[in-house]
Structure formats: structure tokens, C-alpha cells
Structure 1
Amino acid sequence: MPTPPPFMRTCPQCAELLAGLVDAFLQGLTAPLHAEHDGAVRVQILLARHLADVHPDDVPAPHSDGCPACARFERLDSEGVFWREHLARGLFLPDEIARLM
């Protein structure tokens, strides 16, 4: 996992969501999950949405290496909300996971 940038540790909501993400990952490793459990994915989406909405200037620039998700969002996401969420996931997840959504 990448170390989140300092602003994420000083923003109370970011810090709370990061702690929730760690808890969700740990719960997924240590206990059998109910079929409807969406813990880690749900928290990733909430954190990415928070970053896109509240910290848009801190969201990284679009990927320049032919990222298929960036190309799709550029075409389909006229307001850029989901694209910013996609890019924000790289602030707190490894690239191979962050680019899945």
C-alpha cells in the first residue's frame, strides 16, 4: 500500500475513511465474509468520492500511459466525477488495484 499524502492524514474525513479501509481489509483477511459484504470496495469508493469532491486539486493528473479507464472516462464522463475518483484511488491503493475501477 502506498503511503497516503500528508493532507489525507490531516483531513479528519480522509483519516477516518483510511482507518475504515484498513479495518475492512483486515476483516476480509481474518473472518469469513457474508455474501453481501462490500466492506473494502465500499470504503474505497467513499474515499475516492471524498477526494474527488473535497480535494480536487490534490487528485493526480490523468494517466499518460494509455490507461483504458482514463480513455473510457474521458469519453463518457462529461463532468469528470468518476474520472477524478479513478485517479484519486492511486493516492491510497497500489496502481494494479487502483486502476481496476
Structure 2
Amino acid sequence: MKVDKEKLHKVAHLARLTIKPEEEEQLIKDMGEILEWVDKLSEVDTEGVEPLTHMTQEVNVLRADKAEKTIEREAALKNAPDQDGQFFKVPKVLKRND
């Protein structure tokens, strides 16, 4: 595929990029080289190769999402810099627009 100014500006529009006129020639050259490199992938024999859904065989091991009582409230609040006996107290970070 040949990259020209029209295609460059179309891709830039889709990517919401602003291209300066002095950058056009270099970007056209770079995009052409990228497309040539990607086109080399068509030379690879992929006969009998299953498409991948993930790059590795790793499986994400997650525990069941269930509520458990892991620490007593008093123990959690024991070293809190500021608390009211039931909750951690933190400085306000958001303003109300009332």
C-alpha cells in the first residue's frame, strides 16, 4: 500500500492528530516503512497454526469473589491516624457544589 498525503491526513484525522506541514514527508516515509514491515508477515507460513486469543498459556488464577470477615474493625482502626470508632477519617478532597 502506498501512503500519500491524503491517506496520511485521513489516518491523522481518525487518530485525532494534528500534523504540521514540515512533518508530512517524514511521516509518509515512516508509515510506508511500517506497512512494508507488516507486509513481510504475509510471507510467513501459517498453515495449521491456530489463531491465538492470548500471547501466553498463563491462566489468571482468581479466588471466588465472596465476602469474608478477615479483620476485626477494632484491629483495623487501631493504628489509624484519625478515626471515629467505626470508620477511617480522611481529609476532604472534593468540594460540593451546593
Interval of TM-score (by shorter of Structure 1 and Structure 2): under 0.3
Higher helix share: 1
TM-score, normalising length: structure 1: 0.23
Q: Which has the larger radius of gyration?
A: 2
Higher relative contact order (CA 8 A, sep 6+): 1
